[in-house]
Structure 1
């Protein structure tokens, strides 16, 4: 975002891989997009010290010394529960301070539930909303909802273009021992992307040859944050990939690229 506004951006990554949770082809595509925007990416950058000098922040690491106007630290978050002293109410927390809950979000204290980021795990707005649905069903419904109902939770990284993923990566699918097919489609082949003048990125899907079901998808393209929800619904329903291959979508739209992507499955 800052690079799009004209700022010079440098990413210091402590790991030896950029975006280690993503498949290498997806991560490499993202790195190329960012570098084309003028973003520098420095790997194995362990920050040793941060200091202030006049109006700048100075970042000291083994491989880089930077003087910058602003510093954004992305190091994860821990629930701020200590000051609440949950132990006084018999509520257990884990080693990171997250409140311990069961699959229906009961805490270890009777008649007390916890929801949202305070329970740890996936820290997404839509997970908090689903937490609310579970607790509402406990209090006002039949008490049948639980976190076990959550299947194939998708996520999006709102870069430009956005990355969206659901299910397994290719690496995870291969490690599972499944007999898979992996198909990819360059965004440049999508008519709508050409109309929108943004042909960066790639679509990728993993299909189980035995069941013909999708195991996962990574979409790096314009509107991927909308498209991924279509993929998730088909996966949740246990339907074969051919549903998306043969679906009738509006034209020109990014969604119709799912026809082309899954037509590549043999």
Structure 2
């Protein structure tokens, strides 16, 4: 059995653990599917490239709002897809080549599973190989969750792993799920000409968002899509290209294609973790401490397989923590997940950080609430936006920012001053009054919401 100093299982954010500071060690990377992980190959990067194209299409279609005569003839799906994945696949292949050419990194392309403490069997194309390691990092990610009625039907369906690479958009698309993945992909296919129906078991879309955002977003989505909220699928029948969904209220939906976007599950069940002494939570996430150490000596974990926040920027931060802790076992650092911003790249965009208003109620807090609408600031007039807003929550007395939530153009960018303030401990009054806010930039929306707190 070959022994390595370090083995990393997963070449998404796990690939970021290894840099030249490990050059004196015998390192191995095991990757079953994609170098670059879900984010590069089937997640945040291609979906945002497609979403930006959808935004361009929407802008052309709405040009009359700005007294511009323009006509949207078509979104050339196959050309768009090939442009996006031509770049994505080149990045993936470059990452694979870079690791193969490293004189201190061995690449195993296959599925790994534990056979004992810090021992692995890897199923390669030409047969299994057994290896051991002094230290192991588990970064094997997750995969789309598939509801029982869909899996049991034996009928074809797409997930976020596959749907962006299809040859043509369907005429009728049924989407299961109402979270950010479902919302972003519905946006893309709607812009590409598909008729979209969304089935979501909750009573509104983007449920984890602040209630004001979720309610407004759902209201806007209802004008574009056929929404079946508070409903679940009980059966999937028909045939390829002619799918029929039966819901729990006995209603039915016909579709040419079914997209399952109800969430993701960690790949921990594929690793035989029990024999390695690696514990998991009830939902399958690997148990880690603040330093990303698992319950097994010498084994770390990072990313979607262990974090409650399955976001690439979280996984990348955890990769930096793991890299440091591998090299400096006597000076460990911790991963801080208290203030993690996130965005949904739809139209309108959504961005958030910190507590929602419903979180505050659950904690018995009575925060100050400040709000401003895009139509309250000059640049919002330029954009003719009448639906977007910024909402900030602050602690009474201290002005400490508790949360921030935006919905509207450039929300993912506009939230960053609030991210910085909350991370660095800048109170709402100081943030509103100390720096200059460019007039008439979109950031005046944030300034106006902060001033609305009345501090």
TM-score (norm 1): 0.90
Is residue 225 of structure 2 the alignment partner of residue 55 of structure 1?
no
Separation in structure 1 between the aligned mates of residue 278 and residue 302 of structure 2, nearest angstrom: 13
Residue among 427, 432, 447 paired with 1:259: 447
Contact kept? 1:86, 1:92, Cα under 8 Å: yes
Is residue 371 of structure 2 the alignment partner of residue 217 of structure 1?
no
Contact kept? 1:16, 1:44, Cα under 8 Å: yes
Corresponding residue for residue 98 of structure 1: 285
Corresponding residue for residue 227 of structure 2: 41
Is residue 338 of structure 2 the alignment partner of residue 151 of structure 1?
yes
Contact kept? 1:155, 1:165, Cα under 8 Å: yes
Bigger CA radius of gyration? 2
Separation in structure 1 between the aligned mates of residue 201 and residue 286 of structure 2, nearest angstrom: 29
Tell me: higher relative CO, structure 1 or 2? Use CA pairs within 8 A at least 6 residues apart. 2
Separation in structure 1 between the aligned mates of residue 191 and residue 441 of structure 2, nearest angstrom: 25
Separation in structure 2 between the aligned mates of residue 91 and residue 189 of structure 1, nearest angstrom: 53
Separation in structure 1 between the aligned mates of residue 190 and residue 377 of structure 2, nearest angstrom: 26
Structure 2 unaligned residues grouped into runs of 5+: 1-186
Corresponding residue for residue 189 of structure 1: 376
Structure 1 unaligned residues grouped into runs of 5+: none
Cα deviation, 1:165-207, whole Å, max 9, x if unaligned, reads: 1111112223323342112112222322332344432111111
Contact kept? 2:375, 2:384, Cα under 8 Å: no
Separation in structure 1 between the aligned mates of residue 440 and residue 331 of structure 2, nearest angstrom: 44
Cα deviation, 1:142-185, whole Å, max 9, x if unaligned, reads: 634213x3331111111112111111111222332334211211
Corresponding residue for residue 211 of structure 2: 24
Cα deviation, 1:118-159, whole Å, max 9, x if unaligned, reads: 114110001100111111120234634213x33311111111
Is residue 322 of structure 2 the alignment partner of residue 135 of structure 1?
yes
Evaluate the alpha carbon distance shift between residue 192 and residue 42 of structure 1 in structure 2; reply closer, same or farther with a 3 A threshold.
same
Is residue 180 of structure 2 the alignment partner of residue 7 of structure 1?
no
TM-score (norm 2): 0.55
Which segment is superposed worse, 4-13 or 103-112? 4-13
Structure with greater proportional helix content: 2
The 5 A counterparts of 1:167-186 are 167-186=354-373
Between the two proteins, the alignment pairs up a number of residues equal to: 264
Evaluate the alpha carbon distance shift between residue 23 and residue 135 of structure 1 in structure 2; reply closer, same or farther with a 3 A threshold.
closer
Corresponding residue for residue 229 of structure 1: 416
Evaluate the alpha carbon distance shift between residue 125 and residue 54 of structure 1 in structure 2; reply closer, same or farther with a 3 A threshold.
closer
Contact kept? 2:372, 2:446, Cα under 8 Å: no
Separation in structure 2 between the aligned mates of residue 257 and residue 186 of structure 1, nearest angstrom: 7
What is the Cα deviation at residue 17 of structure 1? 4.1
Is residue 305 of structure 2 the alignment partner of residue 118 of structure 1?
yes
Q: What's the RMSD between the two structures over aligned residues? A: 2.0
